Amino acid sequence: MSDWRAILDQNAFDFSRSGSTDARLNRLIEQRRHLVGPTAMLFYDEPLQLVKGEGVWLYDSAGKRYLDAYNNVPVLGHCHPRVMDAVTAQMSQLNIHTRYLDDALHRYAQQLLSTLPLKQGRLVMTCTGSEANDLALRLARLHTGQQGVIVSAAAYHGNTQAVTDVSPSSLKRGQVPAYVACIDLEPLNTEGIDASAYLDQQVEAAIAQLQRDGYGCAAFLVDSIFSSDGVYADPPGMLKAAAARVQRAGGLLIADEVQPGFGRTGSNLWGFDRHQLSPDIVTFGKPMGNGYPVAALAADETLLAELAEVSGYFNTFGGSSVAVAAAQAVLDTLDEEALQANALSTGNRLKQGLQGLAEHYEPLSHVRGAGLFIGVDIVSSEDPTRPDSVLCSRIVNGLRQRGVLIGAAGRYGNVLKIRPPLCFNHDHAQHLLDALEQVMAQDLIRR
């Protein structure tokens, strides 16, 4: 298709246009352009200046309230008191790196590792998910002696050089490197498709391509909710055969849990568990500290020992005292507030509601997702086989004007991305559904 675009530009403000009738906002946009520069992206046709967050709500500088159905970093909700208290308390005691002994780190590592299917699992704290995925690739390449990596066609795994190379969604021009093989997710929309067999065939072809081109297969790096591809969740277990094939071929399975992890998919704490996978490496990021920067990688002792033989690895901010305190508060609160169960219940309610709307509004096509990560394909009213990124953008911006924040995703930028904090409840879901119905009824053709 010709309308391929960088996922990161989806829902982006266009700096070449004036942003607002509001002079103050325009001044802020100009400052932004002159201070932060060309790589800095703003959301929405009329960018937002936010000043306050609480639970699922965000407030702009004019006092207007927005329902946050986009941000997954504040997984417990904005400004959650448990995390604030933990960070404040630890910050007043000590904030130091991991080259001193810290039993809080041990406690956290033990708790997190106990949820993973690794035999001799070890937890390496990093600061960002990008760093965790970057390290995962190093471990996989060192262990296998191969270079090739399999990812989904619109994958995003982070911002370093190494992970940008395996993030086709970051590309605005050109192609992924030859050592990257991509698998296309869209055919999973085909009615009656055997998803497991399809993915297995795709991975088989990817391995063959990488072997033929001399790169071999180091890893299958997978975000099992396929966030930037436009959310492909079902059926559970669909990745099992494909993942096993990679592992049989000597490649490692890297489960990137930055998006699906920490209960978001509702049925499981981890995305890989929903598909009954046995990853060799698991990476964690965004929601891990509810906004405090913390991330991690888990792998078996043997993989880490291979790295330690050839290279030092140290992460200054990774696993510092305050980062661990924040991460522990997140794990504890997820449990105490039963947020995984809420993600399942609210997610099901929301998906039902969206499916109901899709029956009435032609441009709302496939509704996919698990728990509180839902994607809705937007297609042309004239031709329902054509992805419509322009209309998708109009819906996203229409919702923003009505006080509901969501995003856009997918290879063609035509998927509504709904991914709220996990404290999103049934009333919030109804609020979103009502706003979406207003947008559709006002702006668009009723079926």
Task: Between 141 and 431, name the residue whose CB sits nearer to a second copy.
Answer: 141
- For residue 22, state whether it binds a second copy (rule: CB under 8 A): no
Shortest spacing between CB 173 and a second copy, in angstroms: 5
Cα pseudo-dihedral 29, 35, 41, 46, rounded to 10 = -10
| Interactions with a second copy, residue window 208-227 (CB under 8 A) | none
- For residue 313, state whether it binds a second copy (rule: CB under 8 A): yes
Q: Is the dihedral of CA 133, 222, 140, 288 positive or negative?
A: positive
Mutual angle of helices 301-310 and 129-144, in 10-degree steps: 80
Using CB under 8 A, pick the residue from 171, 244, 331, 341 that binds a second copy: 171
Using CB under 8 A, pick the residue from 241, 244, 307, 341 that binds a second copy: 307
- Segment near a second copy (CB under 8 A); pick from 34-42, 178-186, 327-335, 420-428: 34-42
**Three-state SS letters, 316-359:** CCCCCHHHHHHHHHHHHHHHHCCHHHHHHHHHHHHHHHHHHHHH
Give the list of residues 6+ apart from residue 23 with CB closer than 8 angstroms, or none. none
- For residue 130, state whether it binds a second copy (rule: CB under 8 A): yes
Q: For 354, what's the count of Cα atoms within 13 Å in the CB-facing half-sphere?
A: 27
User: What strands, in cross-sheet order, belong to the sheet with 404-405?
Assistant: 57-60, 65-68, 404-405
Shortest spacing between CB 204 and a second copy, in angstroms: 28
Task: Between 289 and 363, name the residue whose CB sits nearer to a second copy.
Answer: 289
What H or E segment, with its residue span, contains residue 30?
helix 23-35
| Interactions with a second copy, residue window 186-205 (CB under 8 A) | none
- For residue 161, state whether it binds a second copy (rule: CB under 8 A): yes
Helix (H, G, I), strand (E, B) or coil at 219: strand
Nearest-angstrom CA–CA distance, 442 and 65: 21
Task: Between 22 and 204, name the residue whose CB sits nearer to a second copy.
Answer: 22
Nearest-angstrom CA–CA distance, 396 and 229: 17
Contact 170, 6 (CB under 8 A): yes
Give me the 85-124 binding string for a second copy, x by CB under 8 A, dash otherwise: --xx--xxxxxxxxxxxxx-xx--xx--x--------xxx
Task: Between 6 and 239, name the residue whose CB sits nearer to a second copy.
Answer: 6
- Segment near a second copy (CB under 8 A); pick from 206-214, 267-275, 304-312, 408-416: 304-312
Owner of token pair 């399809």: 198
Give me the 67-86 binding string for a second copy, x by CB under 8 A, dash otherwise: ----x-xx---xx----x--
| Interactions with a second copy, residue window 42-71 (CB under 8 A) | 42-43, 47-53, 58, 71
| Interactions with a second copy, residue window 393-422 (CB under 8 A) | none
Shortest spacing between CB 161 and a second copy, in angstroms: 4
- For residue 279, state whether it binds a second copy (rule: CB under 8 A): no
